[in-house]
Each structure stands twice: as structure tokens, then as C-alpha cells.
Amino acid sequence: MNTGSNSAYLQWDPYQRPNLPQFDERRLSRVGVIDVGSNSVRLVVFDGAARSPAYFYNEKLMCALGSSLSTIGILNPGGRVRAINAIQRFKHLATAMGIPKLTAVATAAVREAKDGVNFCREVYKTMGQKIWIIDGKEEARLSAQGILLGWPRSYGLVCDLGGSSMELAEINNGKVGRCVTSRLGPLKLVEIEGGRAARAKFIRTTIEKLASEMGPQHNRLFLVGGSWRALARIDMARTNYPLMVLHEYRMDTSSVHKTLEFIESNNDAKLQQVSRLSEARFSLVPFAGEVLDVILKVFEPKDIAVSSYGLREGMLYEQMSDDIRARDPLIEACKVSEKSDARVPGMGKSLNKFVAPLFPNASMGLLRLIKAACMLHDVSWRAHPDYRAELCFNNATRVNLGGLKHAERIFLGLALMHRYKNQHDDDRFTPLIELLVKDEIKNAGILGKAMRLGAMMWISETSQRAKLNWDPEAPKLTLRLTKSSQGLFGEAAAARLDSLAASLRCKSEYFIDD
């Protein structure tokens, strides 16, 4: 790492971390982060619930700062100019958004370049923006914390592939363990003389050394970084995968090998077209593939998960209290959405209590999705009635959320679709729904129709006007209404009760309690 003459730009220590705003559950926060990487320079502005931030703004510029390091030892001159201009733009954007301070970090290219500190000094002198230069292990730790933002209490090996370096970190039960760094970035591999054979030797030697430092890591492999996501996008194109959401996309060793063969056997123009990648990003994919092939052979992970969360999200996680970190990112995001967008904020709690008798033996995972669906059941009320069901499905399946597997996204979308519509008869959604098993499709329909009925029984968030009793042995579904609310049960409510009973394959009845 280049120490330069001015240590003020070097990695922070535990008492000198970037001054990001402290989060608490009482308010929403807008935080801007600049990531000066070896390949790209990016601004991300987070806005939303502390535990599950939304991406208010996200912009990057491919600068390839690290593309000339191996040959001339300094930052790519053209990329340096582009990076400074990009940071200047980001500063103006932040001011317009009302963000008083941006936190900027630089990784492998800047920390290794002879002129890295001078680059940071120039940025500070021209626009007053300080850039923190972090070392490889700190980069690994922050990337691992980004994983924990989306996967609370997760375990496995985090692999962050940047332009000029690759970091590994282990996570176990929500904690970051050992962290290591290497010079395995695609921009480094491009410059190795001797072609593929020389690269293969360098990659194998490096990864075996990393494995000796990390020890056995046979759990889940989390892939962080643009080159990994590009590889996953090609895997999606190869398999005609219907949900184009990279976060939480799963692969296994077999699918990775098939995709690497797919890349080898197709021309670049065709692959770039089907994967919708930029030329700059696509050019690095074959080198990323060579690295991943060896990682899988050496570490033998049980499965592979692609993450859109990494260093930037890890910086946000750094500021969270243990209490906030322990919360469910999905549930926290749903709370914020209900509070800001529902007609009756808080009604989701009553609705959840209403539908609960229909799922007496539900797993914790299903109960979590039921709770989320109830909080989201009315957030799309402003949409045109003819499109509410479609909008609910699209939002749930494509929203930028952590803590949500692809199948869970689809379950949530299908349940919310049934909140507004009895049948899922739109052929456009069939490929997605087919990713669920039969019981998941059935439960989503029951939940949606129960929410559709329950929504007619409440006008305020706290009034308990109706109860469901479900006897699967009879089988019989009973709706019980309070005497003061019997007027709520009209023809429309009766039709919704019958539709719910049909999904349960039982008879229905209703009673007025004295």
C-alpha cells in the first residue's frame, strides 16, 4: 500500500471512522457514499428505514483507475480525470439533494498507486471532499457487513471481486471473522504476461494461499462485485430465468461450469447482447470466470448466492446499533412502506391477526411473509383499480429489498395480487409463479383472499370487528362478526368469504356474536 507523505488520507482506525449519521428507528435517513474503485466510481444515496435502506440515487462511471497500475505504477491518467469530474458532479448532486456531507472511500487502485495520495489531495483541494483510503482487510470486512445488512445472522464465505483486488471474509451468525485480500482483480489479470496458462498458475497459487489463511469454508459462497453480477446475468440469460433480480440469485457449481462453457462457445457480441452488459463490464467477465472456477474447486461451497450489497452497504451497517442490526430488514421496510403509503397505517397488524387462524402450523418463514403481506396489503391503493393486482405483483417481485429470496418475492407478489384479484390468469406471470411449489401457490392464494375479505372489515387500525375460525377436520370456515359491525357484511363480503372457502375446499358460514 502506498503510504505517501500525507497519512491523513489513509485507512481509518477504530477512533477515526467516517462520520456517517447515527441511525435510530424514529426517523428516516438520507446518506451519501462515494466508492472510488479500481474499475468504477459510484455515488449511492441511501434513503429509508434504517435496517433496510432504499436506494434514493445510484450513479456510476466506469473510470478504470487501476488499468495501468501494473505497467506504470500510477492511476490511469484518463480515468483519473474522469473520476475527478465524476466526484465533482456527485458533490453538486448531493448539495441539490440536501446532503451536507458525502463519505468517500477508495480501494485497491488508489491505495496501490504511487499517486494515490496525490489524487485524494487534489480532490480535497479542488472541491473539499475527503477520500479515505482503506486497506484490503478493511475492504473485506466492510463488504462482509454489507452481506449482513441483507442476510442477518448468515454464515459462509464472502468473496468481493473488484477491479484490482479480491477480498475474502468469513461470516458466522451475524459476525465477521477472518479477512484476507489479494491481487486477483480482472484489471490485474489482464496484464499478466504469458496468456491463459500464466494466469491459471497465478490464480491457483493465490487462491490456495488464501485458502490456507481462511481455513475450510464449505458453507455458502456470497459473491460481491460487478464482475460476479455480470457472470450471474449471463447465467440467467443461458437458462432463460424469468426473474431478472440479481440480489439473492442462486447458482451451484454445475450451473457455473455450464455458464463458463457457454461463454467459451459463443461470440462476445452475442453474449453482450443477451446479457445487456456494457462493453467495459463484459470485457472483464472471462477473467472473473477463471477466478470463480478455481474458487469453487478449492473451497467447495455448498451453494452460491449473488449479492447486490457490498462495501457501500457495509459502511451503512457500520453505524447501526446492535438492536437495529438484529431486526428483520424485510419487516422493517414493510413498516416504513405501510406508514408512508397505506390509507390506514397500522391496520396490517389487525389484518395479520385476522388471517392467522388459517395457518395454524405455519413455519417461521411463512409467518414472516404473512406479516409482510398484511403490512403491504394496501400500499398500492392509489393505482388504477384495473392495474392494482399487476402493480402489487411487480412491486413485490422486483423491489430492491434484502432478506428476501426469489421464491419469497414471488410468494409475496402472488398473495398481494390475490388481495385485489381472485385469479392469477395473466400469462405474463406464469413463468415466475412456476418457480413456486404447489403448496406455496395454494398458501399465497389463501392469504391473498383472506386479506381481500379482511380489508372489508376494518375502518380503523385497532378495531377488532371480525374473526375467522378454521376447522380443517370438518372442514368449515366461519366468519364471526361483532353485533355492532354486522352491517359490514353485505353481498361483496359474502362473495369474498365464499371465494376464500373455495380455496380451502370447505363450506363457509358466518355468525353475529351477541
Interval 131-156: pLDDT, tens: 999 999 999 999 999 999 988 889 99
Q: Tell me, what's the pLDDT at 459?
A: 60
Across residues 312-320, what is the average pLDDT? Answer: 87
Q: Does the structure show a pLDDT above 50 at 27?
A: no
> Is residue 322 pLDDT above 70, yes or no?
yes
pLDDT for 227 beyond 50: yes
For 332, residues 6+ apart whose C-beta sits below 8 A from its C-beta are 49, 50, 51, 52
Specify which residues 42 forms β-bridges with.
35, 60
- Alpha-carbon Rg for the chain, nearest whole angstrom, is 26
Question: 7-134: which CATH number, 3.30.420.40, 3.50.50.60, 3.30.1330.30, 3.40.50.2000?
Answer: 3.30.420.40
Q: Does 384 have pLDDT greater than 70?
A: yes
Topology alike, domains 7-134 and 137-312: yes
DSSP 20: P
Give the contacts of 4 (CB within 8 A, at least 6 positions apart).
10, 116, 117, 118
Partners of 179 in the beta sheet?
169
Site of grid cell 471532499: 129
To the question of pTM greater than 0.85 for the whole model, the response is yes
Q: Comparing 11-15, 171-175, 183-187, which segment has the lowest mean pLDDT? A: 11-15
Question: Terminus-to-terminus CA distance in the chain, angstroms?
Answer: 78
| Lookup result for grid cell 450513479 | 59
pLDDT band at 48 (very low <50, low <70, confident <90, very high): low
Confirm or reject CATH 3.40.190.10 for domain 137-312, answering yes or no: no
pLDDT tens track for 236-279 = 999 999 999 999 999 999 999 999 999 988 887 878 877 777 77
Q: Which homologous superfamily is 328-513 in?
A: Hypothetical protein af1432 (1.10.3210.10)
How do residues 73-89 score in pLDDT, each as one tens digit? 999 999 999 999 999 99
pLDDT tens, position by position, 437-461: 999 999 999 999 999 999 988 766 6
C-alpha cell at 125: 483541494
> CA angle, 29 as apex, 24 and 32 as ends, to 5°?
130
State the angle between helix axes of 438-454 and 364-376 in degrees (0 to 180), rounded to the nearest 10.
Answer: 40
Q: Which of 106, 112, 137 is nearest to 41 (CA)?
A: 106
Average pLDDT over residues 330-358: 92
User: What's the CA angle centered on 119, arms 116 and 121, to 5 degrees?
Assistant: 110
pLDDT at 484: 80
Q: Which of 442, 506, 440 minimizes the C-alpha distance to 479?
A: 506
Q: Give residue 20's pLDDT.
A: 47
> DSSP letters along 203-248, please?
HHHHHHHHHHHH----SEEEEESHHHHHHHHHHHHHHT-S----TT
Strand order of the β-sheet with 102-106 is 53-62, 40-48, 29-36, 102-106, 131-133
Which amino acid is residue 236, in one-letter code? M
Quote the pLDDT of residue 49: 57
Domain ranges in the chain are: 7-134, 137-312, 328-513
Contact 60, 410 (CB under 8 A): no
Q: Is the predicted pLDDT of residue 332 greater than 80, yes or no?
A: yes
pLDDT for res 50: 64
Q: What angle do CA 372, 347, 22 make, to 5 degrees?
A: 60
How large is the average pLDDT for residues 490-510? 94
- Of the given ranges (7-21, 53-67, 95-109, 316-330), which has the lowest mean pLDDT? 7-21
Residue in 232, 230, 207 with CA at minimum distance from that of residue 284: 230
CA distance 38 to 50: 29
Residue 10, CA distances (Å) to 138, 145, 154, 167, 371 in order: 12, 21, 31, 18, 45
